[in-house]
Amino acid sequence: MNREYEVVIIGGGPAGLTAGLYTSRARLNSLLIEKGVVGGQILNAEKVDNYPGFPEGISGSELGRLIHQQATEHGLKTIIAEVIGIEPQPKPIVVKTTESNFTAKAVIIATGSERSKLGIPGEEEFMGKGVSYCATCDAAFFQGLPLAVVGGGNAAITEALHLTKFASRITVIHRRNQLRASGIMQEKAFAEPKIEFLWDTVAEAIEGENSVKRIKLRQVKTGEKSTLDVAGVFISVGLKPNTDYLKGVLPLDDGDYVITNNKMETEIPGILAAGDIRSDSARQAITATGDGATAAFYAEKFITQQ
């Protein structure tokens, strides 16, 4: 494989795929590097019903596949590898991966984020044995069984609603006394008879034998402790940006997100960022694709002005 490109895009979610589509259409020799499965976090969405152009909704996996197909048809090349470092100086920019090193005149960072962990006893031990971060991936393993969802945002409620197709009961455990999810998501959850809520409650440990059997809880206002018998725990308590490889290379905000201007440019010429990885991102598929298009436009402008 060629090791020299005009543009290297890191991350294969909606932002990275759209950036690749636009740079490839601009006839820039472009490489997209994805460490896992092309599509990003949107693959976890069984149905995306707020993406323009799909009035009946579309699955996240299908949306990701279609954007990747479109970008590939315009010339985008894709490899599966993990980026472990970036060297911006001297030119060209060097992108180091687990497979090889690549050079580029411009780099677009779109590595997004991953689900945060609770950091409680049993979470790591029962990973894949009842502890999950993806209902779309694992719900079918829990047919007719009671489950818990930890979290109160859109992602958590989406998980809970999906689980109703499989579980006998879903208990949403939230540390506050009201959900952070959007109004329409709350309406759906409150109208679902299989979903119940434990307010002002946090998970303190996950227990079991060969698989999850129970979750230990604490009521934050009274301190009262309790145990809930469940066969699985789905954790959805926020996102952590995938920026470990960027520390010391780019300025990050207090949450370790990449700081950019409205052109998606970082303070290092030729390095741009798009999507969920960006500070103050709306973290929606549609805004990620917009970021990707913007980043591609200004990457092309940077290259042509050199």
Distance from C-alpha of 17 to C-alpha of 56, rounded to nearest angstrom: 23
Write the secondary structure of 22-54 as one string of H (helix), E (strand) and C (coil): HHHHCCCCEEEEECCCCCHHHHHCCCECCCCCC
What single-letter amino acid sits at 1? Answer: M
Distance from C-alpha of 76 to C-alpha of 22, rounded to nearest angstrom: 9
Let me know the angle formed at the C-alpha of 220 by 162 and 254, rounded to the nearest 5 degrees.
Answer: 75
- Establish whether the linkage from the previous residue to 90 is cis, with ω within 30° of 0: yes
- For the question of residue 244 being annotated catalytic, the response is no
Contacts of 271 by beta carbon, 8 Å cutoff, 6+ apart: 86, 88, 93, 106, 107, 109, 250, 265
Each residue of 250-266: b (16+ CB within 10 Å) or e? bebeeebbbebeeebbb
**Three-class secondary structure of residue 67 per DSSP:** helix
In 3D, which of 32, 30, 36 has the Cα closest to residue 16? Answer: 32
CA 93, 98, 99, 100 torsion: positive or negative? Answer: positive
Question: What H or E segment, with its residue span, contains residue 103?
Answer: strand 101-109
Structure tokens of 28?
Answer: 């820039």
Contacts of 180 by beta carbon, 8 Å cutoff, 6+ apart: 152, 153, 154
Distance from C-alpha of 19 to C-alpha of 11, rounded to nearest angstrom: 10
Which listed residue (49, 137, 244, 280) is catalytic? 137
Which residues have a catalytic role annotated? 134, 137-138
